[in-house]
């Protein structure tokens, strides 16, 4: 049993470790326990992978719901648990389920619940967050070396053929049938505003992409990011398609795959887009691209380096200079270069507001 991480970006970055574990134990059945909002990441990485969805807001809510989950885990008769989630609760779950071998980092005061508590390595020793999960397997003696089983530049996610009918219907209902160049914007970031480029600059960038590429712009995001998407749309001269808060993560991934360009802040969606192999321009402010940057074959990081970044803060306590210095022209230039390097965009008339 693998207790998956709870964040979309971390879920993507844990995929090489899951693959390494599967390669190490090819005859074992490896089952993931994952929250609903990240389960689509794992199913898109391997449709045959079995996932137990831990819905703590639904059927597994409260003491009775958690007891139901524990009963299900006990019935699986797992030989071992590998805990990618760092929380005390993950270790408590594995212990309550009676799983005899429990491997995880000794964090959140949970070491006494683990049979194999692994001391977390210093960040400087593993670099990118992807290797944080691989190092857990390595230090527990499960893999010979902390390296992914295939090149990091290969796309890690794919959308199955069965999802194509939905995206075709969605595009047609949105008036986007036929040859199109779609540009997707992800202006949100759950961690905090220090990771978010400014709405007016996203709007200006979107208008430039419409003019230069005859693009149709889609603005993605969660339900809580819907007001942000609407704010950007109001500031645009052209009319975008708002999908923020309207579709599931799985549907979002299917729609993203139709895009010829993704522009995003450092977010879980950035990792998903990069893992799909899409052309991604990733805007970094307070965070460290060396640790959490996108690893897709067509991803490019844009960052305005100042003495105080990466600070890792949720909000900027001073003048937000890392984002203030990130101009529309800089991001626009990177986007055009990336599109040119990937494939030639389709030409079509752009539609203006009200048309």
Show me where the domains of the chain are located: 2-139, 165-342
pLDDT band at 344 (very low <50, low <70, confident <90, very high): very low
Q: Where are the alpha helices (DSSP H) in 54-196?
A: 62-76, 88-96, 123-126, 130-139, 164-173
Question: Using CA atoms, how far apart are residues 233 and 354, in angstroms rounded to an integer?
Answer: 12
The whole-angstrom distance between residue 294's C-alpha and the CA centroid of its chain comes to 9
pLDDT at 148: 86
Q: What are phi and psi of 81, to 5 degrees?
A: -125, 135
pLDDT at 124: 75
Q: What is the mean pLDDT of residues 59-75?
A: 96
pLDDT band at 162 (very low <50, low <70, confident <90, very high): low
Report helix, strand or coil for 210.
Answer: helix
Among 172-176, 245-249, 280-284, the range of highest mean pLDDT = 280-284
Chain segment 223-260, per-residue pLDDT in tens: 999 999 999 999 999 999 999 999 999 899 999 999 99
pLDDT above 90: percentage of residues in the chain:
78
* pLDDT over 70 at 75, yes or no: yes
pTM of the model: 0.91
pLDDT at 115: 98
Q: The domain 165-342: what is its CATH number?
A: 3.40.50.2000
Among 129-133, 294-298, 310-314, the range of highest mean pLDDT = 129-133
pLDDT band at 354 (very low <50, low <70, confident <90, very high): very low
pLDDT at 350: 43
pLDDT band at 349 (very low <50, low <70, confident <90, very high): very low
pLDDT at 149: 83
Selected from 3.40.50.2000, 3.40.50.2300, 3.40.50.1980, 2.102.10.10, the CATH number assigned to the domain covering 2-139 reads 3.40.50.2000
Q: Do the domains at 2-139 and 165-342 have one common CATH topology?
A: yes
pLDDT at 161: 63
Contact assessment for residue 241 and residue 209, using Cβ atoms and an 8 Å cutoff: no
Among 98-112, 169-183, 301-315, the range of highest mean pLDDT = 98-112
Q: Please state, as a whole number, how many other Cβ atoms lie within 10 Å of the Cβ of residue 213.
A: 23
pLDDT at 353: 40
**Percent helix, strand and coil across the chain, each rounded to 5?**
40, 15, 45
Report helix, strand or coil for 346.
Answer: coil
* pLDDT over 80 at 355, yes or no: no
């Amino acid at each position: 049993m693998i207790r998956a991480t709870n964040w979309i970006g971390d879920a993507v970055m844990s995929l090489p470790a899951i693959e390494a574990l599967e390669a190490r134990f090819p005859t074992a059945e490896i089952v993931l326990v994952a929250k609903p909002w990240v389960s689509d990441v794992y199913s898109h990485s391997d449709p045959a992978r079995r996932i137990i969805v831990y819905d703590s807001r639904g059927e597994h809510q409260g003491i009775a719901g958690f007891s139901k989950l524990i009963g299900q885990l006990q019935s699986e008769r797992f030989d071992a648990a590998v805990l990618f989630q760092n929380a005390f609760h993950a270790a408590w779950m594995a212990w309550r389920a009676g799983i005899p071998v429990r491997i995880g980092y000794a964090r959140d005061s949970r070491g006494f619940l683990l049979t194999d508590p692994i001391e977390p390595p210093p960040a400087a020793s593993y670099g990118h967050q992807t290797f944080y999960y691989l190092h857990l397997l390595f230090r527990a003696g499960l893999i010979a070396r902390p390296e992914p089983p295939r090149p990091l530049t290969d796309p890690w996610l794919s959308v199955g053929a069965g999802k194509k009918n939905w995206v075709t219907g969605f595009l047609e209902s949105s008036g986007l049938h036929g040859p199109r160049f779609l540009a997707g914007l992800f202006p949100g970031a759950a961690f905090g505003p220090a990771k978010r480029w400014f709405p007016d600059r996203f709007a200006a960038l979107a208008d430039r992409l419409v003019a230069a590429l005859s693009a149709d712009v889609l603005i993605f995001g969660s339900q809580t990011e819907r007001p942000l998407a609407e704010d950007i749309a109001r500031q645009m001269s052209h009319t975008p398609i708002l999908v923020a808060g309207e579709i599931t993560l799985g549907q979002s991934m299917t729609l993203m795959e139709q895009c010829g360009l993704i522009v995003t802040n450092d977010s879980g969606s950035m990792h998903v887009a990069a893992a799909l192999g899409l052309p991604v321009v990733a805007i970094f402010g307070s965070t460290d691209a060396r640790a959490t940057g996108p690893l897709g074959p067509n991803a490019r990081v844009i960052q305005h380096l100042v003495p105080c970044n990466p600070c890792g803060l949720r909000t900027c306590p001073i003048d937000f200079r890392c984002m203030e210095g990130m101009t529309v022209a800089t991001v626009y230039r990177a986007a055009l270069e990336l599109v040119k390097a990937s494939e030639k965009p389709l030409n079509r008339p752009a539609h203006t507001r009200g048309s």
